[in-house]
Structure formats: structure tokens, C-alpha cells
Structure 1
Amino acid sequence: MESPFDNIVNCCGCGACASACTHKAISLIANAQGFVYPVIDKDKCIDCGLCRKVCGYGKTELLHREKQTCYGGIDCSIEKSQSSSGGIANVISQWIIKNGGVVYGCALENSEELLVPRHIRVQEEKDLRKLQGSKYVQSDIGETYIQAKKDLKNGLLVLFTGTPCQIAGLYSYLRHSYDNLFTIDVICHGVPSKQLFQDSVKKFEKENRGKVKSLLFRDKSNFPALNQKIIYNQKIIYNQKIIYNQKINVRYYTDSTYYTCFLRGDIYRDCCYSCPYAKQQRVGDISLGDFWGIEKTNPEEIRQNGGPIDPKQGVSCVLVNSDQGELLLEKVKNNLYLFNSDIESISLNNHQLNHPSNKPSCRGHILQQYEKHGYDGFLYAVHNAYKWPDRIAKTKRFIKRLLCIK
């Protein structure tokens, strides 16, 4: 078995090559760190070269070059509370399904007693809840590219959401433009491996003697939004608030080592640190993310200043990158509150619109220890790398809590 590509470091793991191979000669296999890469079965391969042709990674021609318009916005309905930011994607998804279409996106589902991040096909409005919320882990595309192509050929409206490299993979796999296709890319920091994520969940289950049923990285019942909600054995665990047996315990998100390492950028896929899509020119028809810093850039929109937006409930930034994206937003804008913005204001606190995430010097050692010694080795390496910074941060938080009590 061998790779279809000379430089495997530039593989984003989208799976377009495997989807395109009609002989099923390509499989996505996880390496020791859990990152999946395409591998060719030479017994099945006919050397047609299609896998290399459909690889969309880094192709600049896939980036939209139409005039870009920028907004901030929210969905004013209650559904927004299930979303990580302003709920824009959910409103668009509802319109697609109400008009007979289908939506593809990442869900975190239970499968064989594991939480599995994977793309799914949604055709009923009630199932859109599965796609809401951030998933800070790489999603398995599976056969959703293949399914989406069938839906497009059958004339259905199709909305495909994902990371920019996943959207690029879809376009390159299709090799044809469709008027009934709409895409949304998320402003992405980078993706850890599914294996590392699942090992972190197993560690939690062992320590708490319960089976995890669901996990929300950013539950908005406790602000700020960087908290984590885990449901296991009828108990609800928040990164900031833990409720169990009528007791409440409050802690900060840094108590989750996996989550902390994600936010620091310690555990992303290799190519994420040189991502060709971490720029203002985008690959999706619409790009969505958090509108960080709205208090400074658009203070008049804040509720305390007389505006309609409560930043505690999340605000989306909306980049419309194509004529197709403009058409889609026009269909749903009456269900949204939108205000005009610009790419400078949005990119001010969304650094992935300016450059890829920086690779920490400790990343290699952390993942090497995970590769050699499993999740305990990962924890040990992280602890040593951040021992003193973590102690200082925890001391500062403790002092702040004391001051609040007094």
C-alpha cells in the first residue's frame, strides 16, 4: 500500500480522492497520531490518476473572486440558543429544507459507544439540531460527496457546510458547477484528530464512571461561550458548571486538556499551519464565524447601548463571497438581523482570515508522546510544556474569584 501523493504533509484528509475512485482502491487510514491519510491498494488500482486530478487542496482557482460583502448578524429566534454563535447557518439550512432540499454538515453522533464526528445528510428540519454547535475535531466526510453529487444531479437544492478544505474537496470532486449547490465554509483554526478527541472522552468517562452521551464544546447557558457541556449517565457536565446529584461545581475551560490544547493550537493537523484557505479570499459561497470584538467595532448594535444584540448569546460574522452566496442570503435575510460591516473589522479578531494558525514549538513533542504512550503520555507532555503558565493563570483566576466573593 502507498500514498497517491508525493507530499503527504499537504493532505487535508478531505477524502475527495477516495470518493472519486470507482475501483475503491483508496482508503483513509489513521496514522499513530490519529490523522487520516489516503492509502492505495495496488491490487485494486488501475493507475488512472483520477485521485490526483480531484485533489482540490491548495487550488487557487477554487477561491471566489467576486466582490465580497460583509455583515454581522443573528437569528432572532430561540433556535439560536443551540448554535455556537448567531445561528445564521441554521436559518439558511431551514430554508433549504423547506424548499425541498438537503443539508450536509458535521454531526457528533454516538456509534458503537463512541462519539463520532462525521458529515451526515439531513432532509428533515427536526434533524438540523444535529448539525448545530462547534465541533473542534476533524469530521469524516464518508460518502457525503458522493451523496451530494447524486442529489445535485436529481435537481435537489443542496447546502454543503464544512471547513474550507472540505468545501474545496467537494468542488474538485464534482468537477462541474451546479446552480442548485450552495456552500458555507467556517472560519477554521485547525482540526485535531478524531482519535485524540475520542481518547479524551474515554479518559473523562473513566474518571467520572459514566458513559458520555453528548458533548457541546460551547454551551451558552454559561457565558463566556468558551465552555464545554458533556452529558453522561443523565448528568450534565459543563466546562464551567458541573451539575451532578443536586450539586454544582464551577470550573474554567482549561480543566479540559484537549480543549485547552485546541485553543492554543497544539494539536492541529500538519497542513493546518500552512493552510491555503486561511485568508480573506474564500472558497465557500458564504463564510461564517464568530464576530469577536463587536463591542469595539459596532458598539451601537449592543443591547446595553440600545441595539438588538446580546454578545453573550453569540454574534455571527457573515462573508458573502459569490453571486450564489448573495442569492442564498437574499432568500433568508427577512429572518435575520443583519448590519453592515467590513473585512477589516471582522478579521481584526479572526486571525485565520489573515494567516494560518501558528505552530507551537511544543506541538511535535506533545504528539510524539501521544503516539508512543497514548493519552496519558499526551497529558504528561502537555503538563510539562505548560506547567508554569498554567499555574500562573490558575492563581490569577483564584484571586479574581476571591475578590468577587468579597
Structure 2
Amino acid sequence: MLTLNKGLILFSYEHCQQCGICKTACPQKAISFKLRKNGLQDIIIDIDKCILCKKCVNICPANKECNYRDYSDEFPNKKYFLGFNSNDKIRRESSSGGVCKTLIIEGLRSEYIDGVYTLKKTDKYPYAEGEFYTKENIPDYCDLPNSIYHSVMACTNVNRIEKCNRLMIVGTSCQLRALEKFAKNKCNELIKICIFCKQQKTLDSTRFLAKIIGEKINKDKEFDAQYRGTGWPGIVKINNSSLPWHRAAQLPFGRRLWTVPGCDVCGDSYGIESNADITLMDPWIIRKSNELGETLITVHTEKGLDILKDIPNIVLEAKSYTEVEPALSLKDVWRKQQLVPFFRGEECGDKIIKAGKAEFRQRKILSCIAKKLPRMPILFYRVLCKFPDLRNKILK
């Protein structure tokens, strides 16, 4: 997060959401990045070049104060679908049935959209970067990454976006907030697709998964990784070894370890504060593991409903709120929102302070255990996950 204080632009690593928009927004090229060991970036400000225009501060998504008071009230009235690509091979090899890739590729092929800004695969860490696609350079399904469980500065290439009539932007809530400010003047109509997100990960999470399966991530960060795909919930594959996703996710995601610090100051998992048209997520709890996969789609706007109806090759199964409610994680999102003031360093009540401190302790203890004992039987990690979640226990 960048702020202006006493005539200087200051960087707060603890609040940074790692979107990368600040570097692109700077007209003086006064911002650069420095890679940390954990795969995240420090923001470096060249005070000799900086003219204090505050463009970086104004566009930084971590600076936006969100109101979560009535966040979940409208969820019973929203429309929900389980969706997937009509081609079984694409469905199987993509994350969660391939709806996100289908919206991007088939949206361009059908000329429903004129442009889309999303991620493309690269051959260098973090193995993905932002890219602008049009009907002249439509990607193949293999060009777009599946889920990525290490942080990617998705907004660093937004200056590639060209003027178009209908533009689609795809990203997590914080990325959408940054992209919207930049992209709204590049098109006549803006479509926002939110990837549900409670926590992005540092590279330490992938290092832990690599150790579990007997692989190693070198200091130069050269490794082959596949996150998800090959059925649902799929696998994680690092170099030549893989393990089922349900085992990989237990500690890092179940107990919120190795989380990007800036994720702690965001409670907008669905992109509602980013004015998302639809949100894409996994159908946890309501679906069993299977060979193909599907995406749980939450529709926020009429435009979002039109997108799903008009873009081809997406199969939709309408669901009621009652049917999907267990998968929406609304209670967990609420608990995350309660701690946002604590992580922002704002004044908050004793209960929130107690829960925030407990969260710190829990992460520290469990990450130490996981690092020292990375190749234990799966039962060991299941037992660790059975211990009471301190944050949840306090914030019942």
C-alpha cells in the first residue's frame, strides 16, 4: 500500500495487495519492484524522480475503505449456477470446469466482447502476467493459467489495454478495484469477472507443497507447477511429482498460512465493492470430488446474467440459494471482515484485538510445525486441522 505522508510517498509491505498497478500509474517511472525471498515484491520509490502527483496513491486498491456492514444481506436474492465447459477435455484439464477460460476465449470468438484483460502463462516466475486479448490475438485454452497459488502482480501490463467497445476484466477483488480505475476510460462498457478470493499465497506455500512431494524449489525460482485441473478439485503438480488438491490445501488454506499480508486488510471476497458482475468460485461442500469439475457462479447484476446466457459453450445448472449456501463461505468471509480494522491498525474492540492476536499466534505456530515436518502422513495434517481454530472460536 502506498500513502502520502509529510511530502513523501511511503510503502507499507504489511498492507500491500501485490497488484502492481502503482508502477504502471506512475508517469515519472519512479516506482520499481524488488523481489523478496517469499516471492512477493517490495515497492521502491525513487524520491528524486517522484513529483508527488499521487496517482499511485489514488489508484492503490489497499487505500479503499470498504463498508461490510450489510455485505451478505442480498445473497439470498442472487442467482446461482453450477457451470462448466461443454467440452469434457477442457472441463477436466481446467480449474473448476473451465468457466473462467470459457468466458474469456468464447467471449472473444463470438465477438460478445472486443477485449479482455486477464492473465497469460509465462515461462518465468511467477509464471503468469497480465495480458490484453482481442479478436486478433485470441488465446487457446492452454495459454491461460489454471488457478495460481502464489502471488502474481496482475496489473503491471494494463497499459496494453486498447480502446474498445465492450471490455472484460478478470481478477480478484483487489485486482478489479485497481483495473476498474484504469480501464473504465478505455471502453464504452466494462464487464467485471471476480475470482473469489479469501487469501492469496506467498511462494512459501508452494515451497511447503514441494517438500511434501519430495521436490525442491531452487533459489532462482525455476520450477514447473500445475495448480488444479485434471478433475475436481484436481491436483497440484510441481516438477515431476503431484498430490491431490484436498491434501495440498489442508494447512495452507484451511488455516490461512503463508497468506499475502495485504489480504488481511481486504474482506471483499466476492468483489461486491469492486462492482463485479459475476463471481466464480469452487463448489466446496456441495459437490464431491469428480473427474470433470464445475464452477459455482454467483450473479450480481443483470449484465452478469446476460454474459452467461450469451457466451457459448458454457453449460449451466440453475441452483437455489439454499442449495449453494454451504459453499458460499459467508460466515468465514464475515469473520475475515471483522479483523480488517485490526490488521489496518485501526481502533477496535477487545474481542477483535484478542481474535487478531490469536490469528497471529496460530499462523506462526502451525507454519513452524509445517516447515519442520513437511513429509508426514496425511493423517498428521488432518489432526493439525482438527485443533480448534482460535480466530473462529473467538468470533463465533
TM-score with structure 2 setting the length? 0.70
Seen in structure 2, the aligned counterparts of structure 1 residues 329 and 282 have a Cα distance that, compared at 3 Å, is farther
Please give the alpha-carbon distance, in whole angstroms, between the structure 2 residues aligned to 1:83 and 1:263: 22
Partner of 2:351: none
Partner of 1:179: 188
Choose from 256, 265, 290 the match for 2:256: 265
Choose from 230, 233, 244 the match for 1:225: 233
User: Structure 2: which amino acid aligns with 1:27?
Assistant: S
User: Structure 2: which amino acid aligns with 1:121?
Assistant: F
Q: CA deviation at 1:40?
A: 1.2
Q: CA deviation at 1:25?
A: 0.9
- 1:253-309 C-alpha deviation (Å, 9 max, x unpaired): 64x6x98424431110123234231358352221101122335xxxxxx9xxxxxxx
Choose from 120, 132, 139 the match for 1:121: 132
User: Structure 1: which amino acid aligns with 2:301?
Assistant: S
Seen in structure 2, the aligned counterparts of structure 1 residues 391 and 189 have a Cα distance that, compared at 3 Å, is closer
Instruction: Determine if the alignment matches structure 1 residue 74 to structure 2 residue 84.
Output: yes
Partner of 1:143: 156
SS in 1 for 2:317: strand
CA contact (8 A) 2:18 2:262 kept: no
Matches of residues 348-359 of structure 1 in structure 2 within 5 Å?
Answer: 348-351=326-329, 353-356=333-336, 359=359
Partner of 2:119: 106
CA contact (8 A) 1:108 1:135 kept: no
Partner of 2:315: 336
User: Structure 2: which amino acid aligns with 1:346?
Assistant: V
Please give the alpha-carbon distance, in whole angstroms, between the structure 2 residues aligned to 1:194 and 1:390: 23
Partner of 1:361: 361
CA contact (8 A) 1:56 1:171 kept: no
User: Structure 1: which amino acid aligns with 2:53?
Assistant: C
Seen in structure 2, the aligned counterparts of structure 1 residues 109 and 157 have a Cα distance that, compared at 3 Å, is same
Partner of 1:9: 14
Q: CA deviation at 1:46?
A: 0.5
CA contact (8 A) 1:272 1:356 kept: no
Matches of residues 204-283 of structure 1 in structure 2 within 5 Å?
Answer: 205-206=215-216, 214-220=224-230, 225-232=233-240, 237-240=241-244, 254=247, 260-278=251-269, 281=272, 283=274
Partner of 1:286: 278
* Runs of 4 or more above 6 Å deviation: 386-389
- 1:116-168 C-alpha deviation (Å, 9 max, x unpaired): 243333444453323242111111225322222xx2x2x25432211111111
State the superposition RMSD in angstroms.
4.2
Q: CA deviation at 1:108?
A: 4.5
Q: Percent identity?
A: 19
Please give the alpha-carbon distance, in whole angstroms, between the structure 2 residues aligned to 1:89 and 1:51: 29
CA contact (8 A) 2:105 2:140 kept: no
CA contact (8 A) 2:38 2:203 kept: no
- Count of paired positions: 342
Please give the alpha-carbon distance, in whole angstroms, between the structure 1 residues aligned to 2:18 and 2:195: 17
Please give the alpha-carbon distance, in whole angstroms, between the structure 2 residues aligned to 1:93 and 1:130: 11
CA contact (8 A) 2:146 2:228 kept: yes
Please give the alpha-carbon distance, in whole angstroms, between the structure 2 residues aligned to 1:238 and 1:355: 32
Seen in structure 2, the aligned counterparts of structure 1 residues 335 and 378 have a Cα distance that, compared at 3 Å, is closer
Partner of 1:56: 61
Q: CA deviation at 1:32?
A: 5.3
Q: CA deviation at 1:8?
A: 4.7
More displaced stretch, 277-286 vs 356-365:
356-365
Q: CA deviation at 1:219?
A: 3.4
More displaced stretch, 14-23 vs 167-176:
167-176
- 1:218-273 C-alpha deviation (Å, 9 max, x unpaired): 2325xx625223454xxxx3314xxxxxxxxxxx864x6x9842443111012323
CA contact (8 A) 1:109 1:116 kept: yes
Please give the alpha-carbon distance, in whole angstroms, between the structure 2 residues aligned to 1:259 and 1:29: 31
Please give the alpha-carbon distance, in whole angstroms, between the structure 1 residues aligned to 2:205 and 2:165: 36
SS in 2 for 1:168: helix
Choose from 157, 166, 177 the match for 1:168: 177
CA contact (8 A) 2:166 2:190 kept: yes
Partner of 2:45: 40
User: Structure 1: which amino acid aligns with 2:193?
Assistant: I
Partner of 1:400: none
CA contact (8 A) 2:215 2:238 kept: no
Please give the alpha-carbon distance, in whole angstroms, between the structure 1 residues aligned to 2:65 and 2:305: 23
Instruction: Determine if the alignment matches structure 1 residue 86 to structure 2 residue 86.
Output: no
CA contact (8 A) 1:122 1:128 kept: no
Which stretches in structure 1 are left out of the alignment for 5+ residues? Answer: 241-251, 296-301, 303-309, 370-376, 395-406
CA contact (8 A) 2:92 2:230 kept: yes
SS in 2 for 1:139: coil
User: Structure 2: which amino acid aligns with 1:133?
Assistant: N
Partner of 1:401: none
Choose from 4, 19, 29 the match for 2:34: 29
Matches of residues 377-392 of structure 1 in structure 2 within 5 Å?
Answer: 379-380=371-372, 390=380
CA contact (8 A) 1:86 1:315 kept: yes
Larger radius of gyration: 1
